[in-house]
């Protein structure tokens, strides 16, 4: 399953057995290091989507502007069905997997 995904031997379908656990693992990895201390007053907790959405406009030294990554981010940002950072992040992971762009985002973690 995952080896075929890496090789690009077949398209990625939502019904594939390995897709859900793989996406959950990616989501957990993206969240590593993003934990912020909680607040008694309920300060908004930021999710991995918050750093992904600024990648296309970031001035990170050495960051390459990838047009496909920018397209995915803009698609997710403008989707009216997505209302939460978690939902946007999950949609980003799914689209980036489909277009094989997860390494591009992950290298900027």
Q: What is the rounded average pLDDT of the residues 74-89?
A: 94
pTM beyond 0.85 = no
For residues 77-103, b (16+ Cβ closer than 10 Å) or e, as one string?
eeeeebeebeebbbbbbbbbbeeebbe
Distance CA 99, CA 6 (A): 11
Tell me which H or E stretch contains 78. none
Rounded to 10 deg, the angle between the 67-77 and 85-98 helix axes is 140
Which tens digits make up the pLDDT trace of 30-57? 887 555 555 444 445 578 898 888 888 7
pLDDT of 8: 56
Arithmetic mean of pLDDT over the chain: 77
Least confidently predicted of 10-24, 35-49, 67-81: 35-49
């Amino acid at each position: 399953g995952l080896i075929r995904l890496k090789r690009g031997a077949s398209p990625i379908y939502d019904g594939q057995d390995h897709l859900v656990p793989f996406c959950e693992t990616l989501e957990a990895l993206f969240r590593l290091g993003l934990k912020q201390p909680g607040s008694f007053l309920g300060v908004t907790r930021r999710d991995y989507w918050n750093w992904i959405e600024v990648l296309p406009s970031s001035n990170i030294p050495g960051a390459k502007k990838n047009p496909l990554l920018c397209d995915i981010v803009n698609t997710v940002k403008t989707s009216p069905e997505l209302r939460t950072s978690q939902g946007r992040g999950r949609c980003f992971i799914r689209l980036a997997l489909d277009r094989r762009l997860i390494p591009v985002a992950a290298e900027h973690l």
